[in-house]
């Protein structure tokens, strides 16, 4: 074996071996027949937008650790791999790449499409190419990391099987009235020109201003005619402060806004009914300057009173507002609500690119309105122009002051697209919604939570629909978060849930399976849609809607949704004048179906036929619900919730909700750089997993990531630029690399020992016949195995890694291997223990460090193992490879407290001697003599030759040393070491003992203080007090022995 471990020499070969062995392939029949318990993980499908980063490496390492451990424990494991089409992200990315390459972008293809050419199709071809490329890259990365997914079953969220699930889900929800179309304000991304869901909007702080705009007050004499209202009139009506203005001039009110450019869409000004000015002005109207539109003044409780009139001091709105609120229903969600309450017609003043437009709802010319100078301007330019215009004009000719009363700097947070980063425009449009607020979706997502993780309020609002039937019931109350605190995030999200906008104005994604046709009259629509159902579509399950709010507002329209529309149905619809909705579904709609679609739902036979995977029909029954979902916390709302709602909804039967899609959800930390910043491309602080694999090896990376995975929400990884390669790396990975190297060498050394003196097959060995050190080592393995099992059960990955490290490095290398050096050659039982313990260590390490352990396992394959009674391994399908071999399952009786205690004394004695050697500067190779008599001499005789080997002791003498010697205390008695040097430095020896004495005295002081406190002796548990007394007694003995040694020197 080479001097050090070189990962690249082995990883590829080992990977190929695993793939050839079929070790990762899940067999549902073993689950259904009861041969094995299922253990399932669904990969959070990575976006095909980019290569995997370190966060993915962490996420997938964790999943692989869990999967490999359970495989070895005898579970039938399925790790379902796949990728996500990531609609908006991918489409944007491809567009960007095309433009960078100087090729036509999506705008050009859209133009072609409008001209009747094949724009959409052609563009999608390019996206598919991009997707194929990245999917391959991602798959390759996962394989390099060692991910033991069932690669034969890999899915993509837009493949045939997943697409069928999407169509069926949409159909069912549509049929059940849980999908509807609505005309309302959505989060509009003007750059990508699509609607976004609430959680795709990121809030960012923006420095802006409050603009105070004056709107002149008018009487409307008759529609289209109005006269100015004077301040004198307001004075008469008791408007506070009106008397401060010239009485014959036109009066105005002032509105405060951060978005003056939307004033063209104002349809009212609102005032609180509690405002003392309300009565005085509500009979009047306002005239929008420049445009000339006359709008009413309405009273609405939503409006906050300014501080002056009784508003809460400290409330930003009360502090900054004037009490008059401009109402722009088409461009502000709150104004939309006010508009609904007061039946105001919204006026949309923007084009989809957020430029000011009079072609999208603002009938400027028809209504003879001004403001043409704003048309065509971007939001930003329009704002500047509005401000300039207001500044340049006065309320009426000759009046004082401009229409722009003042500007006040104001910083607030504004929604931005998580993709284009453009400011979100609340925009009025027709969109499809999923009624997730329905109890059958939201309610059952809440009920899925384990009751101990739910809040009282939530249990009150959404009581369980039925009690748990059996212990492992996977419906209500079956889903737990780890760490538990994340259950709260999940619950709160549902508490505030609004209906989910599922349509996206994109090309890349699942096309909405709805066809539309317009009719001249309601009767025509009715009769034809009846005819359709009975006629040319009679072979299909269809739902037709001709009377929802949008359909009616558009005239007479009919929407048809067909269950699993095939090409024939599609062409029939086209023949009859129906066109398919051009929009696609939100990516998360298909992601939400991941636990179902990957298992072949709704039609496993079709899935079998199209994929050629014979056992597809058994998958759902065998592997849903999955065991655990491993993901990052940002996904709780986007994904976990939706998967839960859909799984329960679609697997429900007889009005009863179905099972939750997973039993446990593990939320892992996010990796940040050394300064606590997110790793990102733009900051250049990202670390590429493949770079680490090539510099340190996959196992080193995995161990380090595992070791970093604590229960906190963030972990930091200092990033450094490797000058040699020009790539980012982190010194943290050295930990893993060093461990691998140590393992390699320990294996080399063990093998050397076992080859020199081969193990011979024999009868099972009784652990009681083993030497102290062997019983100790076995006991340590038992202890570590228990700790690791607990750590795995609770997703405490750092505990797992630390336990491995301590067991292997500290116990096995530092003490066991060093201890057996003198005896292994002559003790066949010891060789059996070495072989077995090393095997157990390899298996315990394998889930974290699969490549090196498999490699070493190959090397050890020919070295026989003797059975040690009670040291068992789990039953698995085969032991052909280490990754399929059984997990250590030693019986508890191998935990040997006596051996642990005895060896602890050896270690303590050895450490004491080593300390003296170091302090007295004994030459490292020099052998010394230990003088000990009495019971310690007997013990050492039994422990022999451990102390000699470990402490560099040549012999143990029961005589007192005749010449120079160093004294030390051990367990309260005085002993000597001699032959430390050719001549002992008495001064140094005295100094050492004096220092030692001071340390002991200090400890005694502390302990005496505690014992002299009556509160302690009276109230603390008796065993603790006794322990303290024993400790004091021990220390006093040590003190006396040290003193006597010191006296002898003097």
Partner RNA sequence: GGGCGAGUAGCUCAGUUGGCUAGAGCGUUCGCCUUACACGCGAAAUGUCGUGGGUUCGAGUCCCUCCUCGCCUACCA
- Whole-angstrom Cα distance, residue 758 to residue 749? 14
Is 251 within 8 Å of 229 (Cβ atoms)? yes
Contact residue for RNA among 737, 831, 992, 1039 (CB under 7 A):
737
| Lookup: tokens for 620 | 């759902």
Q: Tell the smallest beta-carbon distance from residue 1 to RNA (Å).
A: 8
CB-wise, 317 or 377, nearer to RNA? 317
User: x/- site string to RNA, residues 761 to 800, per CB under 7 A?
Assistant: -------------------------------------xx-
Q: Tell the smallest beta-carbon distance from residue 423 to RNA (Å).
A: 6
Q: Tell the smallest beta-carbon distance from residue 653 to RNA (Å).
A: 33
- Whole-angstrom Cα distance, residue 308 to residue 310? 6
The alpha carbon of residue 731 and the mean position of all alpha carbons in its chain are separated, in whole angstroms, by: 24
Give the HSE-up count for residue 846: Cα atoms under 13 Å, Cβ half-sphere.
Answer: 30
Q: Tell the smallest beta-carbon distance from residue 315 to RNA (Å).
A: 9
Q: Tell the smallest beta-carbon distance from residue 267 to RNA (Å).
A: 14
For residues 412-441, which are near RNA according to CB under 7 A?
A: 412-415, 423-426
Does the protein bind RNA through residue 803 (CB under 7 A)? Answer: no
The alpha carbon of residue 869 and the mean position of all alpha carbons in its chain are separated, in whole angstroms, by: 44
Question: Reduced to 3 states, what is the DSSP secondary structure of residue 676?
Answer: coil
Is 701 within 8 Å of 733 (Cβ atoms)? yes
Q: Tell the smallest beta-carbon distance from residue 475 to RNA (Å).
A: 27
Does the protein bind RNA through residue 259 (CB under 7 A)? Answer: yes
Contact residue for RNA among 378, 745, 757, 872 (CB under 7 A):
745
What separation in angstroms does the CA of 1031 have from each of 275, 588, 1003, 1016?
Answer: 77, 63, 10, 15
For residues 885-924, which are near RNA according to CB under 7 A?
A: 911, 914-915, 917-919, 924
Contact residue for RNA among 332, 811, 854, 974 (CB under 7 A):
332
| Lookup: tokens for 524 | 């025509």
Is 199 within 8 Å of 493 (Cβ atoms)? no
CB-wise, 390 or 623, nearer to RNA? 390
Contact residue for RNA among 69, 280, 708, 841 (CB under 7 A):
708
Does the protein bind RNA through residue 442 (CB under 7 A)? Answer: no
For residues 384-413, which are near RNA according to CB under 7 A?
A: 410, 412-413
Among 35, 48, 45, 74, smallest CA distance to 147 is for 45
Q: Tell the smallest beta-carbon distance from residue 396 to RNA (Å).
A: 25
Contact residue for RNA among 385, 459, 813, 874 (CB under 7 A):
813
Q: Tell the smallest beta-carbon distance from residue 894 to RNA (Å).
A: 22
- Whole-angstrom Cα distance, residue 390 to residue 401? 10
Is 365 within 8 Å of 358 (Cβ atoms)? yes
Does the protein bind RNA through residue 714 (CB under 7 A)? Answer: yes
CB-wise, 304 or 532, nearer to RNA? 304
- Whole-angstrom Cα distance, residue 466 to residue 1025? 52
Contact residue for RNA among 21, 112, 258, 757 (CB under 7 A):
258
Determine phi and psi for 938, rounding to 5 degrees: -65, -45
Among 529, 510, 511, smallest CA distance to 519 is for 529
Total chain residues near RNA (CB under 7 A):
102
Number of alpha helices (DSSP H) and beta strands (DSSP E) in the chain: 38, 35
Does the protein bind RNA through residue 1037 (CB under 7 A)? Answer: no
Is 382 within 8 Å of 261 (Cβ atoms)? yes
Does the protein bind RNA through residue 10 (CB under 7 A)? Answer: no
Among 700, 789, 875, 746, smallest CA distance to 146 is for 700
User: x/- site string to RNA, residues 575 to 614, per CB under 7 A?
Assistant: ----------------------------------------
- Whole-angstrom Cα distance, residue 632 to residue 53? 13
Torsion of CA 533, 538, 540, 544, to 10 degrees: 0
CB-wise, 680 or 875, nearer to RNA? 680
- Whole-angstrom Cα distance, residue 994 to residue 967? 12
For residues 995-1034, which are near RNA according to CB under 7 A?
A: 1003, 1006-1007, 1010, 1013, 1015-1016, 1019-1021, 1024, 1027, 1031
Question: Reduced to 3 states, what is the DSSP secondary structure of residue 432?
Answer: strand
Q: Tell the smallest beta-carbon distance from residue 184 to RNA (Å).
A: 14
| Lookup: tokens for 281 | 């002005």
The radius of gyration of the chain's CA atoms, rounded to the nearest angstrom, is: 39
For residues 190-219, which are near RNA according to CB under 7 A?
A: 198-199, 202-203, 208, 210
CB-wise, 199 or 1040, nearer to RNA? 199
For residues 820-849, which are near RNA according to CB under 7 A?
A: 821-822
| Residue 282: CB atoms within 10 Å | 16
Among 846, 835, 942, smallest CA distance to 899 is for 942
Q: Tell the smallest beta-carbon distance from residue 22 to RNA (Å).
A: 33
User: x/- site string to RNA, residues 334 to 353, per CB under 7 A?
Assistant: x-------------------
- Whole-angstrom Cα distance, residue 914 to residue 953? 10
User: x/- site string to RNA, residues 481 to 500, per CB under 7 A?
Assistant: ----x--xx--x---x----
For residues 665-694, which are near RNA according to CB under 7 A?
A: 674, 676, 678
Residue span binding RNA (CB under 7 A) among the ranges 280-288, 580-588, 709-717, 841-849: 709-717
């Amino acid at each position: 074996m080479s001097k050090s471990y070189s990962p690249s020499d082995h990883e590829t070969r080992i990977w190929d071996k695993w793939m050839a062995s079929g070790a990762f392939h899940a067999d549902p029949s073993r689950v259904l027949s009861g041969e094995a318990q299922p253990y399932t993980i669904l990969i959070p499908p990575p976006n095909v937008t980019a290569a995997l980063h370190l966060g993915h490496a962490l996420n997938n390492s964790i999943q692989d650790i869990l999967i490999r451990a359970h495989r070895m424990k005898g579970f039938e494991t399925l790790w379902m791999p796949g990728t996500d089409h990531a609609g908006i992200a991918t489409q944007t990315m491809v567009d960007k790449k095309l433009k960078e390459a100087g090729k036509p972008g999506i705008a050009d293809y859209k133009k072609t499409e409008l001209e009747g050419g094949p724009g959409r199709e052609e563009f999608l071809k390019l996206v598919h190419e991009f997707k194929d490329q990245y999917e391959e890259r991602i798959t390759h990365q996962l394989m390099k990391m060692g991910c033991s997914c069932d690669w034969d079953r890999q899915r993509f969220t837009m493949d045939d099987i997943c697409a069928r699930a999407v169509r069926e889900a949409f159909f069912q929800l549509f049929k059940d009235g849980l999908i509807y179309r609505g005309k309302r304000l959505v989060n509009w991304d003007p750059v990508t020109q699509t609607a976004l869901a609430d959680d795709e909007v990121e809030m960012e702080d923006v420095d802006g201003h409050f603009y105070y705009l004056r709107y002149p007050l008018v009487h409307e004499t008759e529609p289209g005619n109005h006269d100015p209202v004077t301040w004198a009139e307001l004075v008469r009506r008791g408007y506070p402060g009106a008397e401060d203005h010239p009485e014959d001039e036109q009066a105005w009110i002032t509105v405060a806004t951060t978005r003056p450019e939307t004033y063209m869409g104002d349809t009212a000004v609102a005032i609180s009914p509690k405002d003392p000015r309300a009565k005085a002005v509500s009979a009047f109207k306002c005239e929008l300057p420049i445009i000339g539109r006359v709008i009413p003044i309405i009273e609405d409780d939503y409006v906050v009173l300014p501080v002056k009139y009784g508003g809460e001091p400290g409330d930003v709105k009360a502090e900054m507002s004037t009490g008059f609120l401009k109402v722009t229903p088409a461009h502000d969600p709150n104004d939309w609500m006010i508009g609904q309450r007061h039946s105001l017609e919204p006026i949309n003043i923007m084009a989809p690119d957020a430029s000011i437009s009079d072609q999208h709802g603002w009938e400027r010319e028809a209504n003879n309105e001004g403001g043409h100078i704003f048309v065509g301007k971007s939001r930003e330019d329009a704002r500047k122009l509005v401000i300039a215009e207001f500044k340049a004009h006065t309320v009426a000719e000759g009046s004082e002051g401009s229409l722009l009363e003042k500007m006040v700097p104001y910083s607030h947070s504004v929604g931005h697209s998580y993709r284009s980063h453009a400011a979100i425009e609340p925009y009025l449009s027709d969109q499809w919604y999923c009624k997730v607020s329905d109890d059958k979706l939201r309610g059952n997502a809440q009920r899925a939570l384990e009751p101990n993780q739910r809040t009282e309020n939530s249990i009150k609002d959404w009581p369980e629909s039925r009690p748990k039937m059996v212990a492992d019931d996977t419906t209500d109350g079956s889903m737990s978060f780890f760490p538990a605190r994340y259950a709260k995030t999940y619950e709160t999200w549902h508490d505030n849930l609004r209906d989910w906008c599922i349509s996206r104005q994109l090309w890349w994604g699942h096309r909405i399976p709805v066809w539309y046709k317009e009719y001249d009259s309601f009767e025509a629509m009715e009769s034809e849609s009846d005819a359709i159902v009975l006629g040319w579509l009679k072979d299909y399950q269809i739902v037709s809607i001709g009377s929802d709010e949008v359909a009616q507002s558009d005239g007479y329209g009919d929407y048809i949704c067909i269950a699993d529309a095939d090409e024939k149905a599609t062409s029939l619809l086209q023949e009859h004048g129906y066109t398919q909705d051009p929009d696609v579904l939100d990516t998360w709609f298909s992601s939400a179906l991941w636990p179902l679609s990957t298992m072949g739902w709704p039609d496993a036979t079709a899935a079998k036929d199209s994929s050629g995977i014979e056992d597809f029909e058994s998958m759902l029954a065998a592997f849903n619900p999955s065991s655990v979902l491993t993901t990052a916390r940002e996904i709780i709302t986007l994904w976990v919730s939706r998967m839960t709602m859909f799984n329960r909804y679609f697997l429900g039967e007889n009005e009863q909700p179905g099972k939750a899609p997973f039993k446990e959800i593990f939320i892992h930390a996010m990796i940040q750089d050394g300064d606590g910043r997110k790793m990102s491309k733009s900051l250049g602080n990202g670390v590429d997993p493949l770079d680490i694999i090539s510099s340190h090896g996959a196992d080193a990376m995995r161990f380090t990531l595992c070791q970093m995975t604590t229960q906190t929400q963030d972990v930091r990884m200092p990033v450094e630029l490797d000058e040699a390669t020009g790539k980012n790396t982190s010194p943290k990975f050295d930990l893993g690399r060093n461990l691998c190297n140590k393992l390699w060498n320990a294996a080399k050394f063990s093998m050397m020992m076992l080859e020199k003196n081969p193990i011979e097959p024999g009868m099972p060995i009784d652990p009681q016949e083993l030497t102290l050190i062997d019983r100790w080592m076995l006991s340590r393995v038992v202890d570590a195995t228990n700790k690791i099992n607990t750590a795995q059960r609770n997703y405490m990955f750092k505990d797992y890694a630390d336990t491995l490290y301590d067991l292997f490095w500290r116990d096995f290398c530092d003490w066991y291997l060093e201890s057996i050096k003198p005896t292994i050659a002559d003790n066949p039982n010891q060789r059996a223990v070495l072989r077995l313990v090393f095997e157990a260590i390899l298996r315990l390490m394998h889930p974290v460090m699969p490549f090196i352990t498999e490699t070493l396992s190959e090397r050890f394959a020919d070295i026989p193992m003797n059975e040690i009674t009670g040291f068992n391994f789990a039953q698995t399908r085969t032991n052909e490879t280490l990754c399929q071999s059984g997990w250590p399952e030693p019986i508890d009786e191998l935990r040997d407290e006596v051996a642990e205690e005895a060896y602890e004394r050896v270690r303590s004695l050895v450490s004491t001697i080593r300390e003296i050697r170091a302090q007295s500067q004994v030459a490292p190779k020099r052998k010394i003599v230990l003088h000990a008599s009495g019971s310690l001499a007997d013990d050492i005789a039994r422990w022999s030759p451990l102390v000699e080997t470990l402490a560099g002791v040549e012999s143990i003498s029961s005589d007192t040393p005749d010449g120079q010697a160093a004294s030390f205390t051990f367990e309260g008695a005085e002993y000597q070491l001699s032959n430390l040097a050719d001549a002992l430095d008495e001064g140094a020896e005295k100094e050492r003992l004096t220092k030692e004495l001071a340390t002991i005295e200090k400890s005694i002081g502390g302990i005496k203080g505690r014992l002299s406190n009556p509160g302690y002796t009276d109230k603390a548990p008796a065993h603790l007090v006794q322990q303290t007394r024993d400790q004091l007694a021990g220390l006093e003995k040590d003190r006396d022995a040290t003193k006597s040694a010191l006296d002898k020197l003097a």
